[in-house]
Chain A
Amino acid sequence: MTATNVVAAAVAQTGGSGTGRLTGLRAAFRSPRLIVGTSIVGFFVLLAIFGPFFFSNPNALSNTELAGPSLKHLLGTTQIGQDVFAQLVVSARNSLLIGVGAGLLATVVSIIVGISGGYAGGIIDEALNLFSNVVLVIPTLPLVIIIIADVKSNGLVPLIVIIAFTSWAAAARVLRAQTLSVRNREYVLAARASGERAWRIVFVEIMPNELPIIVSNFIFGVIFAILTQAALAFIGLGDPTLLTWGNMLSLAYDNQALSVGAWWWLIPPGLCIALLGMGLALINFSLDQLLNPRLRVYRPAKARRGRAQVSQG
């Protein structure tokens, strides 16, 4: 996934010219990918905001243990009779919170390191670039695992901070490359000549022009954070008092949901993560198409192709 991000961004840099941008824009907004993507993400966001209000106690016990889906328990029950559906809905909020929080923080770091470095140039740029490249090649999950094992804190906020500070590097590298190509354009030179301060040039002149890349990085950051949290929780490093999709999977696995065949407990949390991730990735995908005119496919058979995509999406 991260690989796609970088490769796609590399592609985005090579295709520069903005010919046919308006028609492209219209097509991009109508693209079934974007519609499907925003619908899925919108659904989960609403679920995360309003869903938990309907379930006051998702951990409430009952006497129906490990029962399959029924009208009373839409997605069955756990080994101690908790309602899986209620847990799923309440988990949406925490999972999204971790994703958005870590994604935002990582984006901020990547902007500071990537754009400032690219704009400053010289030794500062060399140093920051070396720094991001080093962070990039050190595998993230093992690093996060030993940080959490050593620090011994896995609450919501520490988790967000740890995930963010280990996952900003790919975004910073892409932003730096883009900044290098933008920093000598006329409007930046004009701003510099008229005596604007460096921070203003970086945040007011350059950053808005890189917004699509920043948004795309943020979206990948969200997916990455949710996946990382899920993996951490699954291998037993999550905060057990926090209800997230990853923790649900971890509990299900630890309580032999697999051997008793409790699919209603195992499948939904993972499916939610995968669907949300797919929705976000689809948004990014259409963003890419919009950013990079060379990726658009001009074919007379366009209408037919559009239908084929709807039917399979």
Chain B
Amino acid sequence: MRYVLRKLGFYLVAAWAALTINFALPQLIPGNPVEALIGRMAQSGGAPPGEAKVLTSLLGLGTGNIFEKYWQYVDGLAHFRLGLSVTNFPTPVSTEIGQSIYWTLILVGTATVVSFVLGIGLGALAGWKRGSKLDAIIPATTLLTAMPYFWLALLFVYVFASNVWHVLPQGQGYDTNSELNVGWNLPFLASAVQHAILPALTIVVSSVGGWLLGMRNMMVSTLSDDYVVAAEAKGLRQRRIMIGYAARNAVLPSISGFAISLGFIVSGAIATEYVFSYPGLGEKLVQAVISDDYPLMQGIFLVITFAVLGANMIVDLLHGFIDPRTRLSR
């Protein structure tokens, strides 16, 4: 219980830090961003009354001293007042985010799980058969890990979606030219899956190496532990030693390393989505940055950060459940 409380406390602090960074950064925008934004909104139909106030507090520019500004900002967020998008005026930022978050969640979520399972499995096998041909492939995975995600995406587009073989669609989340109803119907889902293959492949290929290497190394050092030797001496079947004794313990650091990797994968997904014009949060963030859409940008940063924090918290709590040692020692 103390472990759980401690972890919850940590993520509360982390969430507060993210909020505060999000409050502090826009203060650095040169000039008066609110006037500029309202000016641009006026060109596309005029800002609704009160929008200036929302924007001011949202960008941490409210009135009064710094604490009052901070309070206005937090108060606004607590009521989900994220302002209106400037590019797609006057859509609220929360609607914009709501439209794209599912695309990213499904794409990045699936790809991460596939990559994790694949990496851990292969890594366990490579560590088990250390010194074999399979193990000799390991250094090659460093090439995969060092590749820029988006460049790999470009290569995939070049090979599978444009010049060499045109077998897969080049971009977008589904076929926007034919008349598909977005929703739970077969033609749309089929199209969406087809469009997700290349982005997902990009994420899996470039993130699998990290899991593989970490798991392989941990497996090798676990295998020299006494309890593994004891299991061998007892004459247990090899499979059982590999999975039940070695891999089960070797996987723990990978699970706790999940935090850092997830942030990395989410970052990689931003550029990948941009290459494929995938209708997710990453693509939206890039578009917001390009068009100086501050409300949308800050909103997406908060959502991405909170999502990563949430995923980590779940993994951390699970970790305490799987590995009793972390519960006792902390």
Contact = CB atoms under 8 A, between A and B. Distances in A.
B268 to A, nearest CB: 8
Given A137-B309, A150-B29, A281-B145, A1 B289 contact: no
Interface residue range, chain A: 35 or more
Contacts of B163: 258, 261, 263
B60 to A, nearest CB: 10
Instruction: Name A's interface SS.
Output: helix
B25 to A, nearest CB: 5
**Most A-side CB within 10 Å, residue of B146, B214, B270, B298:** B146
Contact of A235 (B152, B155, B220, B289): B289
A88 B211 CA distance: 32
A39 interface: no
Contact of A139 (B28, B146, B308): B308
Contacts of A10: 218, 253, 257
Interface string B218-229: 101100100000
A297 B220 contact: yes
Interface string A127-140: 00010011011111
A103 to B, nearest CB: 14
A3 B260 contact: yes
A141 interface: yes
B264 A1 contact: yes
Interface in B140-158: 140, 142-143, 145-152, 154-155, 157-158
Contacts of B139: 33, 282, 285, 309, 312-313
23 contacts: A4-B214, A7-B254, A11-B218, A130-B10, A134-B14, A138-B263, A140-B267, A141-B268, A141-B270, A142-B304, A145-B270, A149-B292, A149-B294, A151-B28, A246-B148, A261-B158, A270-B151, A274-B148, A278-B143, A280-B146, A294-B224, A309-B136, A313-B139
5 cross-chain pairs, A with B, having the tightest CB-CB distances, nearest first: A277-B146, A141-B267, A270-B151, A7-B214, A3-B261
Interface of B: 10, 13-14, 17-18, 21-22, 25-26, 28-30, 130-131, 133, 135-137, 139-140, 142-143, 145-152, 154-155, 157-158, 162-163, 209-211, 213-215, 217-218, 220-221, 224, 253-254, 257-264, 266-268, 270-271, 274-275, 285-286, 289-290, 292, 294, 297-298, 300-301, 304-305, 308-309, 312
